[in-house]
């Protein structure tokens, strides 16, 4: 059977039906596209955008309070450096050097605003003290932390060197808590020379932290030299050196830790 459709020359029924179905399919597709685009626009309107970066640096213990509009942040902690070892010499024909203190560890943590809440306590590790001659031992560096989310351990202390023993170098801070947790660098080793006033090598250098800067070694053939202080956050102090004289020399202090928080904010 055939029908006449006004405005066309189409009279074949099957062709007319097929044409009507194609028109319906195009209408349905357009409706689906509109629904999809509407949902996408709604999702974009509901999304949170980062419009600014902010940094908070802590060199002393305190409280971390997020900046306005903080969505997420990256927390970086460095533990404090350990103290270098002291030395004692009882003869002017000998030479002794002590080991360096270890560098503090490094930890990094990604955290959301929900992880932080209203605030988090910040603890900065205290610098390790250098050894005083052969009588007062060097101390290790303290741990640095932001709550329990991110923790970096301090570097170890070096031992004293004297005519009876060679002190050990300070170990690097062990891996702490975080998405990344790296150990610090150990301090350089100690040495002694019982047959000459000329040291074979310098004292043990301080272990570096993620920021570098371990205390530089010292050496002298005719005097007592105290070790150097760690030169960067979390670095260890170097050991002392003595040669060609009697007496004592002190190890260098380590450096305190640090916290750096980079914030991604909507404001």
Q: What is the mean pLDDT of the chain?
A: 87
Interatomic CA distance for residues 23 and 92, integer angstroms? 107
Chain mean position to CA 38: 44
pLDDT of residue 4: 43
DSSP secondary structure of 191-228: EEESS-SS-SS-PPPPPPBTTB-PPPP---SSSEEPPP
pLDDT of residue 3: 42
Interatomic CA distance for residues 250 and 223, integer angstroms? 13
164 or 15, higher pLDDT: 164
Identify the CA nearest to 210 among candidates 187, 188, 183, 230. 183
Tokens representing 169 are: 């170098």
pLDDT interval class at 30 (50, 70, 90): low
Tokens representing 125 are: 């590790």
pLDDT interval class at 172 (50, 70, 90): very high
pLDDT of residue 11: 53
Residues facing 145 on adjacent strands: 123, 151
DSSP secondary structure of 30-48: HHHHHHHHHHHHHHHHH--
Q: Is the pLDDT of residue 5 over 50?
A: no
Q: Is the pLDDT of residue 89 over 90?
A: no
Residues facing 261 on adjacent strands: 56, 75
Q: Is the pLDDT of residue 255 over 60?
A: yes
pLDDT interval class at 258 (50, 70, 90): very high
DSSP secondary structure of 86-133: PEEES-TT-EEE-PPPPPPPEEEEEEEHHHHTT-EEEEPPPPPPPPBT
**Overall average pLDDT of the 153-157 stretch:** 98
Query: For the chain, how many helices (H) and strands (E)?
Result: 2, 15
CB contact set of 186 (below 8 Å; sequence gap of 6+): 102, 103, 155, 156, 169, 170, 171, 172, 207
pLDDT interval class at 191 (50, 70, 90): confident
Q: Is the pLDDT of residue 208 over 70?
A: yes
Share of the chain above pLDDT 90, in %: 66
Q: How many CB atoms lie within 10 A of CB 53?
A: 11
Kindly report the pTM of this predicted structure.
Answer: 0.81
**Overall average pLDDT of the 224-235 stretch:** 96
pLDDT of residue 164: 84
Which residue matches tokens 């932390």?
145
Identify the CA nearest to 144 among candidates 136, 134, 156, 154. 154
Q: Is the pLDDT of residue 163 over 90?
A: no
Chain mean position to CA 55: 15
Interatomic CA distance for residues 108 and 58, integer angstroms? 15
Share of the chain above pLDDT 70, in %: 80
**Overall average pLDDT of the 67-84 stretch:** 97
**Overall average pLDDT of the 230-254 stretch:** 94
pLDDT of residue 40: 66
Interatomic CA distance for residues 137 and 131, integer angstroms? 5
pLDDT interval class at 50 (50, 70, 90): confident
pLDDT of residue 267: 79
pLDDT of residue 243: 85
Interatomic CA distance for residues 199 and 239, integer angstroms? 13
pLDDT of residue 2: 44
Interatomic CA distance for residues 11 and 166, integer angstroms? 110
41 or 213, higher pLDDT: 213
Q: Is the pLDDT of residue 142 over 50?
A: yes
């Amino acid at each position: 059977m055939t029908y006449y459709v006004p405005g066309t020359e189409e009279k074949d029924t099957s062709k007319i039906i097929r044409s009507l179905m194609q028109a319906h399919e195009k209408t349905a597709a357009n409706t689906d596209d509109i629904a999809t685009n509407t949902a996408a626009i709604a999702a974009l309107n509901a999304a949170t955008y980062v419009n600014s970066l902010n940094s908070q640096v802590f060199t002393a213990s305190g409280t971390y309070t997020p900046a306005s509009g903080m969505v997420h942040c990256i927390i970086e902690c460095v533990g404090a450096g350990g103290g270098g070892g002291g030395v004692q010499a009882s003869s002017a024909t000998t030479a002794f050097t002590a080991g360096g203190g270890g560098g503090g560890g490094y930890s990094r943590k990604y955290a959301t605003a929900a992880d932080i809440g209203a605030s988090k306590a910040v603890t900065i590790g205290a610098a390790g003290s250098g050894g005083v001659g052969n009588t007062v031992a060097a101390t290790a560096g303290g741990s640095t932390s932001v709550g329990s989310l991110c923790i970096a351990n301090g570097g170890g202390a070096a031992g004293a060197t004297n005519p009876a023993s060679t002190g050990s170098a300070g170990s690097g801070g062990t891996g702490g808590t975080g998405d990344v947790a790296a150990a610090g660098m150990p301090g350089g080793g100690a040495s002694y020379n019982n047959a000459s006033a000329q040291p074979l090598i310098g004292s043990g250098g301080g272990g570096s932290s993620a920021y570098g800067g371990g205390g530089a070694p010292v050496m002298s053939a005719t005097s007592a030299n105290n070790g150097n202080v760690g030169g960067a956050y979390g670095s260890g102090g170097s050991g002392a050196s003595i040669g060609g004289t009697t007496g004592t020399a002190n190890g260098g202090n380590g450096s305190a830790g640090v916290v750096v928080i980079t914030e991604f904010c909507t404001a």
